Structure 1
Amino acid sequence: MKAGSRTGTAAAIVGALALSVFSAPTAQAAGTGITVSSVVINGGRPIVVGASDVKTPPVTFRVALPSGYNTADPFPWHAEPFLYHDTTAARGADNGGLYMESYTCYEESTRAARCEGELRIDPRYGLDANGDATTWKIGVIARLFTSSGGLKAEEYATLSGGVQVKRWAKATVNASPEPVAKGRTLTVTGSLKRADWVKHAYTGYGSQSVKLQFRKKGTSVYSTVKTVTARSTGALKTTVTASADGYWRWTFGGTSTTGTATSSADFVDVL
């Protein structure tokens, strides 16, 4: 998912950029003097990606240019942070890196700009293993060009911090029988699944603690009734005593690799 080309005007610069909060780069090749700072991705929250849907979390950052370059002319320079898994930023740039598709910069001075855009993550192409659900390293590529368009200077940097990418989870619920007599047994079933980035489908997430919650009709707050461990297939099942009309749902708190999930509510009429 390599970033595209840039265009720009005196008021805005369009380019390709990536993620999280990091300090000024340390050159690993010829220094460019370009500084990228104050980068925030997705409001500082983990990026949770499903089985096939494209995710576009927002990103903001600032860029400062060396002497002789200015924000009104975007063509002689380029700065592109990215996420990578490889051993170095230089290798990671070409081996499964995650990039911004575009960004827009607004001039703060002739050599400084505030930028904003969206990261594009397509799990069908950018994520090809479930092990990608981890903390990604942050790197940056910076380049300066000659007046004829040739490469003048280039650097790859490894930056501090990281960005957590998680697998999307989803839960379902069904309570029966409906309606049910007061005092009788109500069986609540469902499932917990999460995105599989190899199969590009949702598969069962077993051995996880999932809470069964109830909200009485006419109220707005759910209460946890019990906690159940999902079976190896992700199946959920338990029984409760029917006591009042209300809504039942399953809720999962997430893990280090998987996002949270809450099912829709199933209303049960108690006679």
Structure 2
Amino acid sequence: MRIRALVLAASGAVALTALAVPAAQAAPVGPAVTFSGLKVNSGKNIVVGPATTVTVTATYTVTKPASLDPNTIASMPVLYRGATLNDDSEGLAGDDVATCTKSSSTVLKCTAKIQFRPKSSDVDIDLTNADAGSWKLGAFAANAAGGVTYQGDLGTTKLLRGATLTADATPEPVKKGKTLTVTGKLARANWDTNKYAGYGTQSVKLQFKKKGATAYTTVKTIKTTSTGTLKTTVTASADGYYRYAFAGTSTTAPVNSAADYVDVQ
């Protein structure tokens, strides 16, 4: 969910709404809290395909005055871009405020869910291709008076477009010393069209694992065509498995193709 200012409803029930304060009126004071230990998706990259919502867990600690009733505040982790986290930040947040448990009179341990939607019925929360890449991490807390406390620079994460990769070695079986042709295709999620699309001019490794071996070795590195297709040749030398491997980019997740076993006779 894209964020602006969000507040806790005066009734004490959780209600997230846009905060609009008249220019002549001072903004309400936010709760006196600080955030620490924020982890989103256990510190791993967030990878989203073309159409299915991905939900990740965020955990963090809230430190507060002993006199501040935890029931009078609500908090949320956010992903944001820009120099600082504030009312006007470009950001992504979950559907609901965090669930927090009291660890001591001054410490709350909090857990929240963040949804990433490449396709939904609400264009305001759809991911677009421009959202792929690095994000800063922050959090906010709101009170019933409409005061909001923001804290940024709590870490970083990467939101990446999911990728697919195939490999097919022919002919099978093949005589030793003959030529094998290995074809494939690299595609990545397009959040603007909600489909996978070929990923052009990307470096991809052709790898081989001899039968009985435990690890792949790189045979060569080639580039995809403008439509994401791959094609190269190798000399058949021994029974084993061929695959393509893509290391990923700043906006796209790494991926390995399924292995294709070749019987060399």
TM-score relative to the length of structure 2: 0.80
- Unmatched tracts of structure 1, length 5 or more: 7-13, 17-27, 146-151
Which position in structure 2 is the counterpart of 1:254? 248
Measured at CA, do residues 51 and 69 of structure 1 come closer, stay the same or move farther in structure 2, by a change above 3 Å? same
Which position in structure 1 is the counterpart of 2:74? 78
Measured at CA, do residues 193 and 261 of structure 1 come closer, stay the same or move farther in structure 2, by a change above 3 Å? same
Q: Counterpart amino acid of 2:212?
A: G
1:237 equivalent in alignment to 2:231: yes
Whole-angstrom distance in 2 between the partners of 1:199 and 1:37: 37
SS of structure 2 residue aligned to 1:131? helix
Asked whether the 8 Å contact 1:41–1:60 carries over to 2, the reply is yes
Q: Counterpart amino acid of 2:166?
A: T
1:89 equivalent in alignment to 2:86: yes
Calculate the aligned-residue CA RMSD, in Å.
Answer: 2.8
1:157-176 to 2 correspondence within 5 Å?
157=150, 159-160=152-153, 161-176=155-170
SS of structure 2 residue aligned to 1:78? strand
Asked whether the 8 Å contact 2:75–2:139 carries over to 1, the reply is yes
Shift of 1:187: 0.3
Shift of 1:173: 0.7
SS of structure 2 residue aligned to 1:255? coil
- Unmatched tracts of structure 2, length 5 or more: 9-13, 17-26
Which position in structure 2 is the counterpart of 1:43? 42
1:199-243 Cα distance to aligned partner (Å, 9 max, x none):
111111111110000111122211111111111100000000111
Q: Counterpart amino acid of 1:143?
A: A
Shift of 1:106: 3.0
1:121-200 to 2 correspondence within 5 Å?
121-125=116-120, 126-145=125-144, 152-157=145-150, 159-160=152-153, 161-200=155-194
Whole-angstrom distance in 2 between the partners of 1:153 and 1:15: 11
Aligned pair partner of 1:207 in 180, 193, 201: 201
1:83-131 Cα distance to aligned partner (Å, 9 max, x none):
2347863124xx6633264643332113312223432212214443211
Aligned pair partner of 1:118 in 109, 113, 116: 113
Asked whether the 8 Å contact 1:139–1:156 carries over to 2, the reply is no
Whole-angstrom distance in 1 between the partners of 2:146 and 2:99: 23
Whole-angstrom distance in 2 between the partners of 1:205 and 1:256: 14
1:121-145 Cα distance to aligned partner (Å, 9 max, x none):
1221444321111222444332222
